[in-house]
Structure 1
Amino acid sequence: MTDPAHEPANTPTDQRAVAALLLTRTDERLGTFAVRGLDPLADAGLLHGWVTHPKASFWLMQGASLTDVEREYMSIAAAEHHDAYIGLYEGRPAFLIERYDPAYIELKGLYDNQPGDIGMHFLVDPAPAHGPLHGFTRAVLTTVMEFLLADPAIRRVVVEPDVRNSAVHALNEAVGFQVVEKIAKPEKEALLSVCTRDLFDAATRGGAR
């Protein structure tokens, strides 16, 4: 049975979502990925299932209620230095992107911020309807990076995953991230890593722009 709360976002023919696509890319093996804006109310049910799933423990929202999720993403939507997006796979929601300015939030005062830095978090649907696909998460991260770097003002992507999240460290390295240092955040010990345009291109396309 289809969850009615998910139906508007999950329907590939949803004209609102199709008209508002911010990026579309095709993976030669897996198919089409895209990015659209996030609607804190319409997408809350979908997001609640993702962020509270046992596999999403590093997202730190395991005990969140639906109202908590609505409030969190309404707050992000209203924030000056933080925003969120839904990633699509073959027209259906498949991952979450959060983009932030590390000079103001998350990493303020914790690292040597440079002009053109952008911070990023991403979360893949922990229980996708299509089941496991080899290379899917790497394709998602590649899509996320292409989305962020489509802004010519961005020079580096900065991430701060939990030091224990070895799967994400491996993925980050695969698309060009280099570890800078371990940093202590209030909620975790993190592995600060950065990726420039040239590092991303070298890792994913075999050459620099």
Structure 2
Amino acid sequence: MASPIGNITLRPIQAEDDTEIEMLHRWVTHPKTAFWLMQDRTVEQVRQEYQRIAAHRHHEAFLGLVEGRPGFLAERYDPRYVELAGLYEPEDGDVGMHFLCAPGRTPVHGFTRAVITAVLAWIFTDPDALRVVVEPDVANTAVHALNAAVGFQVVGRITKPEKEALLSVCTWHAFQSATAALPTVPALPHRGTAE
């Protein structure tokens, strides 16, 4: 079976590019992306958010390109300092992750799973990344199922200022085991057997 999406690349978001920010504004304010919590933001507020992330030492935002065309957002952060500071016991090698598939495009079966798989594989190319940590809204059942399919294990509920979240973690080995049979998994670097 062929991959539902072709070549995926990621590059830093260009917050000074008006066209890019207007596109991101359409994505993050779309009714289907309510869990991104930016529904009421203006274009300028979206620009300021991504400028803030770009200036942060422990947070990065990327535009995901699918065969050279914008298809998703991905964020990588250090949960000791961003999003989860003081809300859980971090471990060495923890990396926080968010992703958002572009809404409004013609649905492609398997697209979201291929995106999360590619984002996780990209994070795990860093040998210091031992565990990916996520904190989706407890009501976001679709993403909970997706997370489980790629190897995330639920740690428990946490209360954040903006939501009740389901803290979940995924090790490289859990990800590799969960996705080993998928034809869409990008090649992963060998890490041996130690976790």
TM-score, structure 2 normalization: 0.89
- Structure 2 CA distance for aligned equivalents of residues 37 and 189 of structure 1: 29
Is the CA contact 1:83–1:99 (under 8 Å) kept in the aligned structure 2?
A: yes
Q: 8 Å contact 2:113–2:146 — kept in the other structure?
A: yes
SS at match of 1:58: helix
- Equivalent in 165, 171, 179 of residue 196 of structure 1: 171
Partner of 1:172: 147
Aligned counterparts of 1:189 and 1:106: Cα–Cα separation in 2: 13
Mapping for residues 49-88 of structure 1, pairs under 5 Å? 49-88=26-65
Give secondary structure in 1 for the equivalent of 2:7.
strand
Q: Identify the residue that residue 114 of structure 1 maps to in structure 2.
A: 91
Deviation at 1:90?
1.7
Q: Which residue in 1 is equivalent to 2:129?
A: 154
Q: How many residues align?
A: 181
Residue 75 (structure 2) aligns with:
98
Quote the Cα distance in structure 1 between the aligned partners of 2:150 and 2:39. Answer: 28
Q: Does 1:36 align with 2:11?
A: yes
Between the aligned partners of 2:71 and 2:4, the Cα distance in structure 1 is: 17
Alpha-carbon distance in 2 for matches of 1:103, 1:74 = 21
Deviation at 1:30, TM superposition (A): 3.1
Q: What is the CA–CA distance in structure 2 between the aligned matches of 1:51 and 1:200, rounded to whole Å?
A: 27
- Structure 2: gaps spanning 5 or more residues: 182-190
Return the TM-score normalized by structure 1.
Answer: 0.83
Shift of 1:28: 3.4
Separation in 2, partners of 1:29, 1:55: 21
Greater Cα offset, 34-43 or 171-180: 34-43
Deviations 1:128-149 (A, max 9, x none): 2xx1111110000001101111
The answer to whether the 8 Å contact 1:34/1:143 transfers is: no
> How much does 1:29 deviate?
4.4
Asked if structure 2 preserves the Cα contact closer than 8 Å seen for 1:178 and 1:195, the reply is yes
2:104 aligned partner: 127
Moved more, 33-42 or 44-53: 33-42
Change (3 A) 1:50 1:155: same
Residue 31 of structure 1 aligns to a residue whose secondary structure is: coil
2:119 equivalent among 136, 144, 148: 144
TM-aligned CA deviation for residue 45 of structure 1 = 1.1
* Unmatched 5+ stretches in structure 1: 1-26
CA drift at 1:179 = 0.2
Q: Secondary structure at the match of 1:145?
A: helix
